[in-house]
Amino acid sequence: MAGVIAAGGPATAAAGAAMLQQGGNAVDAAVAAAFVSFIAEIGVVHWGGSGIAHLYDPRQQRSLVYDFFSNTPGLGANQPTDLDFAKVVVDFGAATQDFYLGRAAVAVPGNIFGLCQLAADYGRLPLPTLLEPALQLARDGVIMEPFQANTCDLLSPLYTHTAGMRAIFAPHGRVIQPGERLFLPHLAETLAALAAEGEGLLRHGRLAQTLVADQQQNGGLLTAADLARYEVHKVDSIRIPYRNYELLLPPPSSTGGVLTAFSLQLLSYFDMAHFRHSSARHLQLLYEVLTATNRARPYWEQWSNTLPVATAIARFLSEDFGRPYATQIETALRHGRPSPPAAEPDGPNHTSHLSVIDADGLAVGLTTTAGESAGYVVPGTGFIPNNMMGEEDLHPHGFHSRPPGIRLPTMMAPTIVLQNGMTRLVTGSGGSIRIRSAILQTLSNVLDYHLPLAEAVNRARVHVENGVLQCEAGYDETAVANLAAMGYSVNRWPSRSIYFGGAHSVARTADGRLEAAGDDRRGGATA
């Protein structure tokens, strides 16, 4: 089947294309590509993580979100007193950041459950076929792409935290370099078992037993009951109008989907013809929309914790709630003064996204993360777990304070755009809280400014953090200076950066042509 895929690396994109060439559909391509990404993009994602998939089938006019994000662990067991939970510090140059690793940082991993379920429900090809590209990489090793190797080097305290990790990521006494081949011992055997047994391998099979035994012996919280009772949530999309399009976004556990919908509704109040792209006025509008969303976020947090999810979404996205924020933006634009900022907690940074459309218009957006990894390998499996229980922003009331079995929130927001019932665009991003700003600007670049897809994805971006407009290299310095003269706090980045996300996107043009664009900030590739 014909189709296009955009992903976080050439091996990932090639795996998806191979499934299309074998007669698979967009779901087959996305699943095979995701399994490959856990090896080829090992600097940012792992098998032991979790994710969200968003699909749209134009033949049935049906959209569906597969939520396989992580649950808190600990069902059916008392919390051990001696937890394996350690802090490491990563030096980013301009700042340092604390990360928490170990067995007690591991939340219930959803990737295998979600991808196997998605393939069973909507795929055409059998699971062994979908796993074959990943199995080949596991056998042969993977040549490290520069982005992946550089990420491993940046996060070397995590990737050299234990002897098992050092054997993989620093086999020669230093962190693996671009162009060198990385091997994951025992992963090929685990993949072969997954091909034969399916999700049962992690539900109750050998992988589950080994993972849980290691947790019990080494101060972890994950139990057999956590794996046995884990469910992939299948939920309807949030649907909102935008200009002449319909936008589909994921609902909770995706906080990112709701907040992105709110930002887009605010942007829809303004005629973008009056905001020349990259001008000071355009930058001002983006600052005000992103800042208004940050100010509104506490209401979402309150309502989502106290109201039924559908009620909370309806209230947060209602005209009555959103219009005053739009009025505040109009006032700021008119007077040329910045609105009050609002702080926002950061989230898991190491995330990868891929987008696929096939010839039938079936569309899939798929985002996965492992946090930063738990810093160890489950013995004899090649399986690297997540560290979602060690992400401070996901646990505002303190680590290990949530009861077992609770779905954690995420900023992941794979987004699909429809026009007259047909898929127009699929996008999404990695990058923690920058996911929303990356998606917002990519969508606006395509839908408001009608930029070619590659330009829309790779145009310089901005993000608001703690009241400061972070301006990526590439913006007109005169426009940035004019904005600063109005009193806006601006931080000028000297180069392009993974900080601003990785919005690998695919689209169908007005004449029916399929196109794909990889985000070069995060090793983007297409096929």
* Catalytic residue positions, numbered: 351
- The string of DSSP codes covering 308-320 is -HHHHHHHHTSHH
- Residue written as token pair 């969303």: 293
> What are the phi and psi torsion angles at 488 (to 5°)?
-80, 135
- Counting Cα atoms < 13 Å in the Cβ hemisphere of 48 gives 29
Given the DSSP bridges, would you call strands 3-7 and 525-526 parallel, antiparallel or unpaired?
Answer: antiparallel
Residue 9 Cα distances to 30, 144, 253, angstroms: 13, 10, 27
The rounded distance, in Å, linking the Cα atoms of 166 and 172 is 9
List 426's β-bridge partners, or say none: 416, 506
User: What are the residues whose beta carbons fall under 8 Å from the beta carbon of 203, sequence distance 6 or more?
Assistant: 113, 227, 228, 230
| Contact between 30 and 356 (Cβ < 8 Å) | yes
Provide the token pair at 198: 């399916």
Provide the token pair at 138: 């596991």
The rounded distance, in Å, linking the Cα atoms of 184 and 174 is 17
User: Dihedral sign, CA of 129, 134, 135, 137?
Assistant: positive
Q: 211-243: b or e for each residue (b if 16 or more CB lie within 10 Å)?
A: bbebbbeeebbbbbbbbeebebbebebbebebe
The rounded distance, in Å, linking the Cα atoms of 234 and 232 is 6
| Contact between 158 and 86 (Cβ < 8 Å) | no
User: What are the residues whose beta carbons fall under 8 Å from the beta carbon of 246, sequence distance 6 or more?
Assistant: 239, 240, 417, 418, 419
Amino acid in position 516 = A
User: What are the residues whose beta carbons fall under 8 Å from the beta carbon of 319, sequence distance 6 or more?
Assistant: none
> What are the phi and psi torsion angles at 423 (to 5°)?
-65, 125
The rounded distance, in Å, linking the Cα atoms of 122 and 64 is 11
The rounded distance, in Å, linking the Cα atoms of 364 and 30 is 7
Checking 18-24 for CB contacts under 8 A at 24+ apart, the result is: 18/133, 19/125, 19/129, 19/130, 20/358, 22/125, 22/129, 23/124, 23/125, 24/123, 24/124, 24/125, 24/129, 24/130
- The string of DSSP codes covering 252-271 is TTBHHHHHHHHHHHHHTTS-
